[in-house]
């Protein structure tokens, strides 16, 4: 069940999540999504097109960040609208063969706005990697019960 | 290579049908590190009132990017895929995508704006589920802006 609007207030924290990312995760996302742009898995190609290295798909970051909202809402189908701008790339270093992640994405969310008439809550996400905000205006609209 | 400014206003009609399968929903959910049972367990999805497994909120990107490929691969468009950076993305769900849906996407080029030596291109995919006969039901609207970087950008 989704949260009840009467128990919510703007500014309320919905929690946080830390997502570890490896090069393998990017290959899996490429396969699952069908986005095989080599900037997401080939170092030489990425640097050849003037990127600092292999970067995560923006859609990997967006897609993994929203899980905090799905879990809070109690039903992923309650997320009726979700948008973001991609401001900084998430650089994923090659840690193949080690236990270390190639990057870590920190996600936290709070209630940005409540709409009693539509019975929705807008969740504003803050998404940070390597000390930089990688998503801006990351907002998910949740249909409440 | 320069972006063709005449792209603005262009539409690409719904082409191939995308069949939403349970294993694809599970695979995509694992790939975005989602753990909600409604993506994995049919009984859990049904308990929430859904017909079948529920796709994660960004699953429609698969269908939207297939539609975008028509534009990106259109030789008339002049887009160098290796220089494409995703600038923004939005999903508006008219109803959730569930396993068993048969989806089609209509692509609309809503904006083309020159930026330095490159261009910002905004596209919108209207995704419909095919019903019986000729009926189709609006499922998701996705909008996306891509920046095609010019040299040195």
Contact between A37 and A27 under an 8 Å Cβ cutoff? The reply is: no
Question: What pLDDT digit, counting tens, does each position of B9-40 carry?
Answer: 999 999 899 999 999 999 999 999 999 999 99
pLDDT in tens, B107-138: 999 999 988 888 999 999 999 999 988 899 99
Per-residue pLDDT, A8: 95
Contacts of A76 in chain B (CB under 8 A): 34, 36, 38-39, 54-57, 96
The ipTM of this complex is 0.96
Phi (first) and psi of residue B3, to 5 degrees = -80, 135
Cβ contact, residue pair A64, B34, below 8 Å: yes
Q: What is the pTM of this model?
A: 0.95
What residues of chain A lie within 8 A of the CB of B93, using their CB? 77, 79-81
List, for residues B134-152, the tens digit of each pLDDT value: 899 999 999 999 998 887 6
Neighbouring CB atoms inside 10 A of B23's CB total 9
Under the phi-then-psi rule, with left for phi > 0, alpha for psi from -120 to 50, and beta for the rest, what region is B117?
A: alpha
What are A13-23's pLDDT values in tens digits? 999 999 999 99
Cα(B152)–Cα(A108) distance, integer angstroms: 34
What is the per-residue pLDDT across A65-98, written as a single tens digit (0 to 9) for each? 999 999 999 999 999 999 999 999 999 999 999 9
Contact B65, B91 (CB under 8 A): no
User: What b/e readout covers A74-99, taking b as 16+ CB neighbours within 10 angstroms?
Assistant: bbbbbbbbbbbebbbbbbbeebeeee
């Amino acid at each position: 069940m989704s949260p009840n609007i009467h128990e919510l207030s703007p500014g309320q924290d919905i929690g946080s999540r830390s997502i570890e990312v490896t090069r393998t995760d990017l290959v899996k996302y490429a396969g699952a999504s069908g986005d095989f742009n080599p900037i997401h898995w080939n170092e030489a190609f990425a640097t050849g097109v003037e990127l600092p290295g292999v970067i995560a798909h923006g859609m990997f970051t967006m897609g993994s960040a929203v899980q905090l909202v799905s879990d809070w809402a109690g039903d992923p189908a309650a997320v009726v609208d979700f948008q973001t701008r991609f401001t900084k790339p998430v650089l994923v270093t090659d840690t193949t063969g080690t236990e270390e992640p190639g990057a870590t994405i920190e996600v936290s969310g709070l209630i940005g706005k409540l709409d009693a008439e539509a019975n929705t809550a807008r969740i504003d996400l803050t998404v940070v990697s390597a000390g930089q905000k990688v998503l801006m205006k990351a907002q998910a609209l949740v249909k409440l019960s | 290579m320069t972006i063709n400014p005449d792209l603005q206003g262009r539409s690409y009609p719904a082409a191939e049908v995308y069949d939403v399968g349970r294993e694809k929903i599970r695979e995509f959910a694992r790939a975005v590190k989602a753990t909600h049972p409604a993506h994995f367990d049919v009984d859990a999805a049904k308990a929430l009132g859904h017909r079948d497994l529920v796709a994660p909120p960004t699953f429609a990107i698969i269908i939207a990017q297939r539609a975008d490929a028509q534009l990106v691969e259109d030789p008339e468009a002049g887009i160098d895929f290796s220089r494409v950076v995703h600038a923004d993305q939005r999903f508006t769900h008219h109803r959730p995508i569930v396993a068993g849906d048969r989806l089609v996407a209509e692509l609309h080029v809503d904006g083309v704006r020159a930026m330095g030596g490159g261009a910002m291109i905004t596209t919108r995919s209207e995704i419909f589920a095919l019903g019986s006969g000729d009926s189709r039901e609006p499922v998701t609207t996705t909008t996306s802006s891509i920046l095609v970087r010019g040299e040195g950008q």
